Amino acid sequence: MNINKYMPSLGFVLLFTTLVFSVIFVQWAFSPLDYEKEMIYERNGHLMFKKKQFNEAVKFFIKSAEISQSQGDKARRYRYVGISLLAMKNKSDAIKYFRLSLKHNPNEEYSTIQLKKLENKKVPTKMDDALELEQIGHRLFQEKKFADAKNYFARSAELSVSMKDKGKRYRYVAVCYMGLDNKHEAIKYFKLSLKYNPNDDVSKTQLTKLEIVK
């Protein structure tokens, strides 16, 4: 019995192998990497949060955190979950996620502050939150972590009760953008600073310099 006639030819095997690897390559090439997925989920979470669709924001932030490779990223994204849950007045789950944030990064300051307040059953005021966020922003700025610092200053400005404080904190955001060499955004935030505090001499001076260079 000649078994060779029942065996596939070498050409057929090579063709089949090529097709299999082609399909695998196409799936790999056109599927986003995990890091890209993390960023997409996080961006969608921020978008939902801005729209006050907090339940959807929670889902996106959790997805982003679950596939994060970095412990710092996991901590930050679980912190966002906690903040979103607080916006929904769900304190018990907010505590859970602030703790999860600290599990991945024990130095996560905002999670520490919020967890302490929630566990002490102290109702935080906007003024308290704004000041604490500003302080974290200053520490990050001193460490030259301008991208992180600007986020804290921006959130601090949003929570500010006083127009003067809003102006000052938006000026800090602008300075962070200068540190990031992003003149366009720096100009935008110096102008926003002056909108809330037209007498802010530092913003006036910096804005004049930037617009001359531009």
Q: pLDDT by residue (tens digit) across 10-59? A: 565 566 667 666 655 545 444 455 668 888 998 999 899 888 999 999 99
- The structure's pTM equals 0.51
The reply to whether 28 falls in a domain is: no
Write the pLDDT tens digit of every residue in 157-171: 988 888 999 999 999
The reply to whether 6 falls in a domain is: no
Whether residues 148 and 211 share a domain: the answer is yes
Write the pLDDT tens digit of every residue in 125-175: 566 678 888 988 999 999 999 999 999 999 999 888 889 999 999 999 999
State how many domains the chain has: 2
In this structure, is the dihedral angle defined by the CA atoms of residues 120, 114, 69 and 26, taken in order, positive or negative? Answer: positive
Which of these three, 123, 152, 181, is where a domain ends? Answer: 123
Whether residues 156 and 90 share a domain: the answer is no
Whether residues 111 and 136 share a domain: the answer is no
The reply to whether 4 falls in a domain is: no
Domain membership of residue 112 as a residue range: 34-123
